[in-house]
Amino acid sequence: MERGIGLAHEVRRTSARLADGREIIYFDDVTEVRSPRPDERPLGTRAEAGEMRFDALTGEWVAVASHRQNRTFLPPPDECPLCPTGRGSVPSEVPEPDYDVVVFENRFPSFSEGAPDIAATVPEPLFATAPARGRCEVVCFTSEHTGQFAQLPPARVATVLDAWVDRTTALSSLPGVEYVFCFENRGPEIGVTLHHPHGQIYAYPYVPARSRAMLERARAHRQATGRLLGSDLLAAERAAGSRVVLETDHWTAYAPFASRWPVEVHLVPNRSVPDLPSLIDDERADLSRVYPQLLRRLDRFHAAPTPIPLPYIAGWHQAPVHEGRDDWRLSMQITSILRAPGKLKYLAGSESGVGGWVTDVTPESVAARLRELGDA
């Protein structure tokens, strides 16, 4: 058995290569040795990311990835590229007939280790560019095409968590990587183009704009008070109580005071840690139980007349790789654009134009509804 980096329980980690050279990693919670089957698809040369362009108006980087225009879009179930090979009519990205959790390099990456070098000379200083060098990975939570994360048993959630920890540690060690973001997009309303339960991991060559803003706020708070902003926020939310959704020995979920989205919940560890690899075994075990419970509540948030699966984005805000780690506090943010059955929150003029957010739902009412639903 090859143990992954920081795995908390007995999980077998097996690394192999796909036909175009991309890495694929199996995380299995059984003891039998896996002998990876070869990928026999005629894939040709792998796609590499292109360049990043610097927006002089905002100070933000934008990745230009024109090859992603050709990525797979809403294939029929029998052509799903994330199901095990043999369950559909065509070979998939996973050559095996079955798997527990699998991670592989994205076939259409926004960032890649092979991004070509760009000439150092800049003919126009306002038009700065850089290689889109990093890595993008896909995480398949289950081999079942019609499943969802909320339905996973705690043992399988623990395996997904082990995969997140392993990949966060490994990707953080890559040259030039500054930030690692593990996330899941769910639902066609979000723009999901593959229905198989999966998430992604982006390893950025810079600290993204929102993460940078969060870091600067955390630094300023620590300089002013000597304390962690995330810890003070958690203490304040728990003291107020009206926005707390659930509490356990190791985790607290709450609807934040200044929620932007119709449904927004933060899930945070009660202990101050900067990232997923810093969690201890008890915290991971508790998370494996509480996170699916929270997702099941969210799936019952809208009931008209039957529960509506909530479209959401769930992402782990981890400390940057090389800076601000003593100022940062790990958190999971879950947001949904569904403000009512059949009604979406659109980022229209104010939000998209100037970043002036307006919300139609109070976080107190969201938290009260989620408390009322209880566990299922």
In 10 A of CB 23, how many CB atoms? 14
Opening angle at CA 322, ends 216 and 287, nearest 5 = 80
Please report how many Cα atoms fall inside a 13 Å half-sphere around the Cα of residue 54, on the Cβ side: 13
Name which of 244, 239, 232 is nearest 272 in CA terms: 232
Amino acid at 295: L
Radius of gyration, alpha carbons of the chain? 21
Strands 338-340 and 331-336: unpaired
Name which of 272, 344, 356 is nearest 312 in CA terms: 344
Hey, which residues are catalytic here?
Answer: 198
Sheet bearing 101-105, strands edge to edge: 12-17, 23-28, 101-105, 135-140, 198-204, 179-186, 312-317, 331-336, 263-269, 251-254, 244-247
CA gap 337, 346 in Å, rounded: 7
Length of the chain: 376
Please give the DSSP secondary-structure letter assigned to residue 309: P
CA gap 160, 329 in Å, rounded: 21
Cis? peptide before 305, omega within 30° of 0: yes
Cβ proximity of 221 and 193 under 8 Å: no
Give the C-alpha distances (Å, rounded to integers) separating 126 from 50, 59, 66, 131, 337: 19, 11, 22, 17, 35
- CA 40 remoteness from chain centre: 30
Cβ proximity of 94 and 84 under 8 Å: yes
CA gap 80, 75 in Å, rounded: 6
